[in-house]
């Protein structure tokens, strides 16, 4: 076996795992975890009457973060990152889909590449906010719909039930998924984002941009906090 390939794979695998807590677009980004800790502390002190020290001790207890269930969360997290790394070249990417759809729209409506519709008269800032909000709403709606199907269709529930076997809940439990579920949600993301990128670039050309905070959609960042 080529050790250079193994080293490269291990490096990318490690980067993906670290990226889960270091990138603002991820649901367990460290800033979101800190915000959740602060909110939980305030609730325990204000509503439950605990001291701040007791609240922190309770929230950071090893019995919570290193329980058998939590360890299973971490194991699945690590395995899923490896699976996605292997399958990524085989899975349709949002940029590939966006490119195909964009050229298809131009051919369908017979319009010169790079030109925009009459809607292109909108300001760049307005288009950016419109694209960012649309992407957030449609992406979240599609995630909800697929999650709903996971509960309704037995063939999908067979995979999704892994998420609901957790006995201890932490922020990382959100990543407790079967690899097949991870692939399905990855395809959903590529389909939704690729389609929206193609439509907006077709309508507004080079005026399309995403409003971000720490690399994440600003509305996603606000929602996660």
**With 80 as the cut, is the pLDDT of residue 148 above it?**
yes
For residue 117, pLDDT over 70 is answered with no
Domain edges within the chain:
64-224
**Tens digits of residue pLDDT in 79-91:** 999 999 888 877 7
Q: Decide which of 89 and 116 is more confident.
A: 89
Q: What CA–CA distances, in Å, run from 54 to 63, 64, 67, 117, 180?
A: 15, 14, 20, 60, 40
**Rounded mean pLDDT, 146-152:** 97
The pTM is what?
0.85
């Amino acid at each position: 076996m080529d050790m250079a390939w193994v080293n490269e794979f291990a490096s990318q695998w490690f980067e993906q795992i670290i990226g889960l807590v270091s990138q603002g677009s991820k649901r367990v980004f460290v800033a979101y975890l800190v915000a959740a800790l602060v909110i939980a502390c305030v609730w325990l002190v204000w509503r439950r009457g605990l001291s701040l020290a007791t609240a922190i001790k309770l929230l950071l207890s090893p019995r919570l973060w290193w329980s058998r269930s939590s360890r299973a969360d971490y194991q699945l997290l690590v395995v899923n990152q490896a699976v996605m790394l292997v399958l990524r070249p085989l899975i349709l990417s949002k940029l590939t889909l966006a490119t195909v759809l964009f050229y298809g729209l131009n051919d369908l409506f017979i319009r010169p590449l790079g030109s925009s519709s009459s809607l292109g008269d909108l300001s760049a800032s307005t288009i950016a906010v419109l694209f960012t909000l649309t992407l957030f709403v449609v992406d979240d709606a599609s995630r909800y719909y697929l999650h709903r199907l996971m509960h309704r269709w037995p063939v999908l529930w067979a995979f999704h039930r892994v998420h609901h076997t957790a006995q201890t809940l932490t922020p990382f439990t959100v990543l407790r998924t079967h690899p097949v579920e991870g692939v399905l949600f990855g395809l959903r993301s590529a389909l939704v984002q690729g389609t929206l990128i193609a439509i907006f670039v077709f309508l507004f050309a080079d005026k399309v941009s995403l409003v971000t905070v720490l690399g994440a959609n600003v509305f996603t960042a606000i929602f996660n906090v």
